[in-house]
Amino acid sequence: MMVFIRAYSNRSCNALSVASTRCSLLKGYFDSRRDQKCQKYSTSTGILPKNCKVAICGGGVMGASVAYHLAQLGWGPQTVVIEQDKLGGGENSFSSDLVGVFKPTLSQVRLCQSSVKLYQELESQGFQTGWKQCGSLCVARTRDRMIVFQRMKSQSVSWGIKCEIVDPQKAKELCPLIRIDDIKGALWIPEDGVADSYKICLSLLEAAKQKGVVVLEKCKLLEVVCDNGKVVAIDTSMGSVDCDYYVNCGGFWARKIGQRSNPSVKIPLHPVEHYYLRTNPISNLNSQTPVVRDQDGSIYFRELNGCILAGGFELEAKPAFENARCPDTSAGRKLLADWDHFHVLLEQLLHRVPSLANASLDSLVNIAETFTPDCKWIVGQAPEIANYYVAAGMKTVGISAAGGVGQGVAQTIVNGYSQYDLYELEMSRFLGLHNNRRFLRDRVREVPGRHYSIQYPNNEFKTGRNLRMSPIYPKLKEAGAVFEQVMGYERPSWFEPELSKEHLHSYTNTRKFTMAKTNTFGKPDWFDIVEAEYEACRENVSLLDYSSFTKLDIQSKGREVVDLLQYLCSNDVDVPVGSIIHTGMQNVRGGYENDCSLIRLSENHYMMIAPTIQQTRCKIWIQRHLPSDNSVSLTDVTSMFTAICLMGPFTRHLLSEMTETNLSPKSFPFFTYKELDVGLANGIRALNLTHTGELGYVLYIPNEFALHVYNSLIQAGKKYNLKHAGCYAMKALRVEKFYAFWGQDLDTSTTPLECGRSWRVKFDKGMDFIGRDALLRQQEEGIKRIYVQLLLNDHDPDTEMWSWGGEPIFRDKKYVGATTTTSYGFTFKKQVCLGFVQNLDSHGNALPLTNEYVLSGEYEVEIAGTRYPAKVNINSPNLPTKYPDKERESYLATRDKMVSEPLLRNN
């Protein structure tokens, strides 16, 4: 055996000699690990049936969890699990087995909390899980890391996580192994722990088999058979099985398995090298040693059977199997250890735990792990095939997610929906570009490092950029645009005047791409720039690029398209030609599946505008409800149009100079559509709205005319002092105006009644629509949460931490909810928070709400441990302006009563 200090800390060890000893070390390690495993349960049982309801591919902990929860819901005898190798990976399985509940979002936290609850229940029933509640200790080397921990501590109230901020001395008491002279404090999470993924897998499968689930090893999937876009069977090495649902829990192999169907299912995953180091037993090592995470050093370690197991997430990972030759077995995932690459983590481990220098090494394991391009899990139904589900991409923490994800998938299959809001993890958040192997190879170099890096607000990926760009992108870049990426699309966050000046003085007439960043939790560097853009939007003329918005054309020969949209939409879409209707598309629970604007181009032709992140999601939602006779056509035209928004009180004057069309309010009223000529270009779909409540127009321009129209607008706009504006200014406008956006404020569990949009729900439109019954029940019973706007008082934006979303809200000192979207309000001159509040009883149950209850309390918002008093609004405020306009004042995001959109009221 080697000693750390001799083996590598001085880097004198020959890497090849280390590699040559690795096999024997690894064999010893796996022999000891196998001895520790539970051999109580049988593995493969039964024979492959001819038919079933659900076929699950993958006998790891995720597949086991889905099978277990299907069995709990009564579908055990109709469920089959197949595994190409050995269940749970066999004795060669490897994982750090950390179970931490803190995750980036509430939905992910809930899934992890359900996992912990499940493992505790299994233990109480006599099943082995290896669950040990040893706690987690996260140490901070920097002030910004401490701010992260303080924000987490504040969020813990909303998320139901017990934790506390501790000083360095207390951290040393909790874990005497660590060095503390360079840390500023730590976050202690006492209910975190560790478990054994192999034991949990076998225990879940044993419990599932007791309820009738058939489990088969050495059964390889050959093909998922589809008919008319729906799963009907699977072909395996043991035969064929007719099935109604299929679940891809293939883990490392999920992407490859996705290709075994027609059409193939795009599952964007790519492996990277991932390292686990284990010592030999250390004398007097406390078995309750907490899991220690030193994110600033990119490392973690835990106690395992008297040894130390350690690893980390290096800032730049090494992609594995770049030649696309995916191994067929778990053993094939194990790679030679690259000590030079691991050295950066080893140095940090020796720094944080100096005593490791005297420990002897058992093994360094390099195993390929797969990661998604956005650092989130993949859960839900595949866009390409109905009843094809995926639960994969767990990024080394599958054991933390398995219990909740398995339950969520099982509930969705059986009931049609889950108790968890899984929209942010759904596969429909991706486009085909995200599955490109070269894109994935480059992206996964930086994804693992994001696990432990400080996630500042509006954090951007650095790889995979400049993929989708509007035709006016070069002009925007010349104008000083600083870009963010959404769905692969580059769109301006703000415009940097100095960058524009650089272009003017550049001989090459080109400028380097500049990426948006906000490396602070306080007042950002771009504050003054965005304030000037905001001012132009409200009081002058500004130009914004809306090209990334989702754009769909929906049409039919007869009234079929009207009937379809009336069924899908909660608002009345049978409006006069030329009208724009804003509507939700609800699910059976009344929640938002989509929030969009519909433009009636002709009697049987609509154009739909939806959020950028909805491009795949809303298209699939509509496709799955299209008439079977193909009478309605659906076309994604997102890439066919460049969308330019002109915003501000003088936009009518500017646009009138460029078109012969009468733009007067009587001829072209607010919330209507016309087809215009602009400059020399024709066929431009012009909408009299801005999506933020300000005056202005959105021009949907055929791409071939985009540069001409842009240049013409810039030239004509000079005398109006036209200014470019980006998404950050747009966000400030909509937050002040109290506009909710899908994916930020609205989700699949939020109803129109809860967010002040009941006036957009037409129960009496003469046709049933999805979610109508649920909304009627909620209307009768009363809502139990309400969307509010909070204006922070006694908050100094120059010196104090900002609200960036997710902060707890208190009413009369009692927790009532959390913020969703926040921004600085440049008219209010203070921070503005949007969010939901409830009336919770002593047991945490939500009671029906009234406006009087909401408006009568004294509110506070807690930011990183400090509470700030706040004024609450439940309806859109009327903001003062130099140029008041009846149209702008008439259209607010929320209100108590309104029969319909302005056009229809006037008619």
CA distance 244 to 242: 7
pLDDT digits (tens, 9 = 90+) for 395-405: 888 899 999 99
Tell me if 384 sits within 8 A of 265, measured CB to CB.
Answer: yes
Give the residue-averaged pLDDT of 59-69: 97
Give the pLDDT confidence score for residue 898 in this predicted structure: 41
pLDDT digits (tens, 9 = 90+) for 854-874: 999 999 999 999 999 999 999
Reported confidence tier of residue 891, pLDDT bands at 50, 70, 90: low
Give the pLDDT confidence score for residue 14 in this predicted structure: 39
Query: 831 in helix, strand or coil?
Result: strand
Residues in Cβ contact with 496 at an 8 Å cutoff, skipping those fewer than 6 apart? 480, 481, 482, 514, 526, 529
DSSP-assigned states of every residue in 58-73 = --SHHHHHHHHHHHHT
Tell me if 73 sits within 8 A of 406, measured CB to CB.
Answer: no
Reported confidence tier of residue 842, pLDDT bands at 50, 70, 90: confident
DSSP-assigned states of every residue in 306-341 = TEEEEEE--SS--B--TTS---SSSGGGEE---HHH
Burial of residue 270 (CB within 10 Å: 0-12, 13-18, 19+) is buried
Mean pLDDT of the residues in the chain: 91
CA distance 189 to 134: 9
Burial of residue 660 (CB within 10 Å: 0-12, 13-18, 19+) is exposed
β-strand partners of 270: 371
Q: Which of 311-315, 322-326, 743-747 has the lowest mean pLDDT?
A: 322-326
The C-alpha R_g of the chain, in whole angstroms, comes to 29
Instruction: Inform me whether the pLDDT recorded for 254 exceeds 60.
Output: yes
Reported confidence tier of residue 511, pLDDT bands at 50, 70, 90: low
How many Cα atoms sit within 13 Å of 246 on the Cβ side? Answer: 32
Measured between alpha carbons, how far apart are the two ends of the chain, in Å? 87
Cα–Cα nearest to 150, from 863, 816, 798: 863
pLDDT digits (tens, 9 = 90+) for 326-372: 888 888 899 999 999 999 999 999 999 999 999 999 999 999 999 99
Give the pLDDT confidence score for residue 505 in this predicted structure: 60
Give the residue-averaged pLDDT of 817-832: 97
pLDDT digits (tens, 9 = 90+) for 551-600: 999 999 999 999 999 999 999 999 999 999 999 999 999 999 999 999 99
CA distance 697 to 686: 7
Burial of residue 358 (CB within 10 Å: 0-12, 13-18, 19+) is exposed
Give the pLDDT confidence score for residue 805 in this predicted structure: 96
Query: What is the chain's length?
Result: 907
User: In 10 A of CB 74, how many CB atoms?
Assistant: 11
Q: CA separation (Å) from 62 to 194, 312, 426, 791?
A: 17, 23, 16, 44
Q: Give pTM, 2 decimals.
A: 0.93
| Pairing assessment for the beta strands 866-873 and 786-792 based on DSSP bridges | antiparallel
CA distance 71 to 79: 8
Torsion of the alpha carbons at 501, 506, 512 and 513, rounded to the nearest 10? 40
